[in-house]
Amino acid sequence: MQLRCAAHAACSQAATGLAGRHRAHVSNVTWGGQQARYCGSHGSRLQQLSGGSQRRQQCAAAAAALDGEVSGVVDEDEDEEQEVINGDLTRRPSNSASSTTEEEEGADESREFVLAMAKVAWETKGEDILVLHVAPVVYWTRYFLIATVFSRPQLNAVLGKMTKEAAEVFDRRLSASPQAGPGGWELLDYGDVVVHVMTADQREYYDLESFYGAAEEVDLPFDTEATVSDVDTWSKTF
């Protein structure tokens, strides 16, 4: 039985019971009755002990918070099950039952929504507005919008305008509208679109751009270079 973790050779040793020190790295995840062994440090699957990927797929499809991207067909999953998978766990194998046209329409709608939010951020003098198409990278959302603000009132303003725009134009409401807290990072979760509004410090600290470096940037329809912030180095009062 070959067990491989792409990231860490020691994990494969641990999985076959050879190396004592790295045993803790192996994590057994049991989901939907199927057990799979993963490298606890890196998340790569080491081995799938039980068969039947179809039920797992159904659980995956039903359990997903939103309809993710259709990636691959059913045949792919059966092949994947046999061999060791070192791939990205956040990518779910899906049923081929989803219609691609519905999928595309949904994606277009999300794109329109995220670009509208980006415009709101730009109008409120947010800086470094970045829209990332993360659907190929993660399954739980489609687009990320990251914007930088410089003060708490500005943060409140951006959040207020975005929630208002979303509720009025797109009829998307949040259960609890966030207010700027002491941390300089607020998040709006619209399901297929996630908006991050952060201060420059927090943005640098968490560095989401490098974390989602695999995601492609979406071009914004407005010219962000044209706006020059008068207050370059305004230290926020958080």
Partner 1 sequence: MIIDGSRLVVTDNSGAKEVECIKTRGRYASIGDIITCSVKKAVRGKVTQGQVVKAVIVETKKEVQRKDGSVIKFDRNSAVLVNPKGIPIGTRVLGFVTHELRARQMMKVLSLAARVF
Binding site residues, partner 1, CB under 8 A: 24, 26-33, 38, 40-43, 59, 62-65, 89-90, 138-140, 176, 181-183, 185, 187, 189, 194, 196, 205-208, 211
Report how far residue 202's alpha carbon sits from residue 185's, in angstroms, rounded to the nearest whole number. Answer: 7
Could you tell me the smallest distance in angstroms from the CB atom of residue 38 to partner 1?
8
Non-local (6+) Cβ contacts of 50 within 8 A are: 33, 34, 35
- Is the CB of residue 61 less than 8 Å from the CB of residue 95? yes
| Least gap, CB of 181 to partner 1 (angstroms) | 5
**Min CB(75)–partner 1 separation in Å:** 23
Cβ proximity to partner 1: between 123 and 189 the closer is 189
Q: Which is nearer to partner 1, 63 or 167 (CB)?
A: 63
Q: How far is the CB of 41 from partner 1 (least distance, A)?
A: 6
Instruction: Give the strand pairing for 143-149 and 193-199.
Output: parallel
| Rounded Cα–Cα distance for residues 225 and 22 (Å) | 50
Closer by beta carbon to partner 1, 122 or else 212: 212
Find, among 231, 237, 221, the residue nearest to 117 by Cα: 221
Number of neighbouring beta carbons within 10 Å of residue 29: 13
The least distance separating partner 1 from the CB of residue 226, rounded to whole angstroms, comes to 29
Give the shortest CB-51-to-partner 1 separation in angstroms: 17
Neighbours of 24 (CB within 10 A): 10
Q: CA dihedral defined by 144, 203, 178, 117, rounded to 10 degrees?
A: -40
Nearer Cβ to partner 1, position 129 or 134? 134
Which residue lies nearer to partner 1 by CB, 138 or 147?
138
Q: Which is nearer to partner 1, 81 or 186 (CB)?
A: 186
In angstroms, the CA 142 to CA 134 distance is 5
